[in-house]
Amino acid sequence: MFRNCCRLALILLSTAAFTGQLRAQEIATPKYKLPKDTVDQEIAGQTDFSDVYNSILKKYKKKAPRNKKSSSLALLPTIGYTPSTGFAFGADVSGTRYFGNPDSTTLSIFDAFATISTNELALVQLTHNIYTAGNKWNIQGTYNLGKTIVLDHGLGTGRETPELPIRYKFMRLSEYVYRSLMPNFYAGAGLTFNYYGDIDEELDGVQGIKTYNYLYSLKNGYPPHSYYANGLLINLQYNTRDQPYRPYKGLYVDLILRANQKWLGSEKAALQIKTELRKYWSLSRRNPEQVLAYWLWGSYLLNGSVPYLELPGTGSDVNQRIGRAYTISRFKGPSFFYNEMEYRFPITRNKLLSGVTFFNMETASNQTGVKLFKYWEPGAGAGIRILFDKHTRSNLCIDYGIGNYGARGVFVGLNEVF
C-alpha cells in the first residue's frame, strides 16, 4: 500500500510540475493578492517540488519575472484516488482571462474536464467563474454529465446496514450571479437543474432485491428509476481568509436557501437551508503554516421532500471531501450535519513536507424516528502534505482515515480538504 501511494504521489507531482496550473476548487471568492514583500518574506527558505525537480535535473536557470497576461489556455492530464472512485484518469482544458484591470479584478476561469475511473465513474464537467471589472459582479456556472456507482447504506446514522450498489446516470446544471455589497461580503441568486436516470437498472428482474433508493422513492411518491430536482437559490457569503487553497487565518461563512419548485420541473416542492463555516487559527508567528482549522457543514430540510440521490450526506460538499474515512454517500438523510477539526504542522525546515491530523463527526436523520444529532459517526486519521508551489501554497494531500464499521482508506487530492 505504501509503495503504491508513493508511486501515485510521484505521478501526480510530475503532472503538476509540467503544467504549473491548478484546477479551481473555490467559488465566489475575493481576489487574494498579498503584497510582493509579504510573499517574498513568507516563502524565504521554503522548498517546493519545482525546486526539487530543477535540482534533480540540474536546471538552475534564473527565471525572468512574469507579466500578467490577459488570457491563457492550458491542457493537462489528471489523476486521483479515493475509495469511492478508485483510480481516476482524465484530462483538463483550462482557460483564463481578465475582464478588467488585473490590479483590481480577479482572474476569470473557464474549465472543461473529463475523467473515467476504475470504479465505473465517467464524468464530463464544464465550469466558468467570471469576474467583471473591479469584482463588481461574479458569474458562476457548473455543468456535469456522467454516470457512476454509489455503495449505498441507506438513511441515517447509528447502525450498520447492508451495502447495496446504485448505478445511475446524472445531469447537474447550475448558474449563479453574485454581487459584491461591501468588503468581504457577497450576495447572490441562481438556478439549479438536476436529473437522475437509469437508476438501479441492474436490479430489474432480480427477485427480492430492492435498493434503498427504490424503497425511499415509493414511500415518498417519486418514480424510482428517474427524477428531477430543480430549484431556486439565494446565497449570502462572508470571506476573510488570507488565501483560498491553504489559509493560515480568517473566516469563511456561506448560507444558501434552496427552494425546489414544481413549475421548474422538480418532482416535489422542497425548502432547504445549507450552512458552511470554516475558521483558521495560525498558532505560530515563526511558522504561520502551523494551523488549527475547523469546518462545519450542514443541510437541513425545512419543508417538503427531495429525491433520494439529492439527500445531503458524506461527500456532499462541492469537492466531495466531507467524511474522510468513509465512501461518498456512506451516511445521508433529509437533514445532515458535519464538523471536523484539523491540526496542520510543518515537518521539514524547508517546508517541503508537512503533516496533518484530523478528527471528524457526522450525523444524519432518517424517516423512521432517528433525529439529527441522535447518533454520531466519527472518523480520524493523519496525512502527509508535499508542497507543490510555495507561491500559491498549493500542495499534494495524501491521507489515511479510519471510521466505524471497518471503514478505512487512502484519500489523495490537490490542496487542503478545507
270-291 confidence digits (pLDDT tens): 999 999 999 999 999 889 999 9
CB-CB contact of 209 with 224 (8 Å): no
Average pLDDT, stretch 255-271? 96
Whether residue 302 is predicted with pLDDT greater than 70 in this model: the reply is yes
User: At 23, is the pLDDT very low, low, confident or very high (cuts 50, 70, 90)?
Assistant: very low
| pLDDT single digits (tens) 90-123 | 888 888 888 988 888 877 888 898 999 988 889 9
Beta bridge partners of 146: 123, 170
Least confident of 27-41, 209-223, 276-290: 27-41
Angle at 49 between CA 43 and CA 53, to 5 degrees: 125
Give the start-to-end residue ranges of the domains of the chain.
Answer: 2-61+72-414
- What proportions of the chain, in percent to the nearest 5, are helix, strand and coil? 15, 45, 40
Mean per-residue pLDDT over the chain, rounded: 84
- Residue 203 has a pLDDT of 62
360 CA to centre of own chain: 16
- Percentage of residues in the chain with pLDDT exceeding 90? 53
pLDDT at 34 (0 to 100): 53
Is-contact 165 152, C-beta < 8 A?
yes
Average pLDDT for residues 390-407, to the nearest whole number? Answer: 90
The confidence score (pLDDT) of residue 71 equals 61
pLDDT category of residue 54 using cuts at 50, 70 and 90:
low
Average pLDDT over residues 265-272: 96
Q: What percent of the chain has pLDDT over 70?
A: 81
* Helix (H) and strand (E) counts in the chain: 4, 16
pLDDT value of position 201: 67
What pLDDT shows up at residue 18? 33
What is residue 40's predicted lDDT score, i.e. its pLDDT? 61
The answer on pLDDT for 14 being more than 60 is no
51 — pLDDT class (breaks 50, 70, 90):
low
pLDDT at 53: 57
Per-residue confidence (pLDDT) for residue 47, from 0 to 100: 74
* Architecture in CATH of 2-61+72-414: Beta Barrel (2.40)
Least confident of 6-15, 131-140, 182-191, 230-239: 6-15
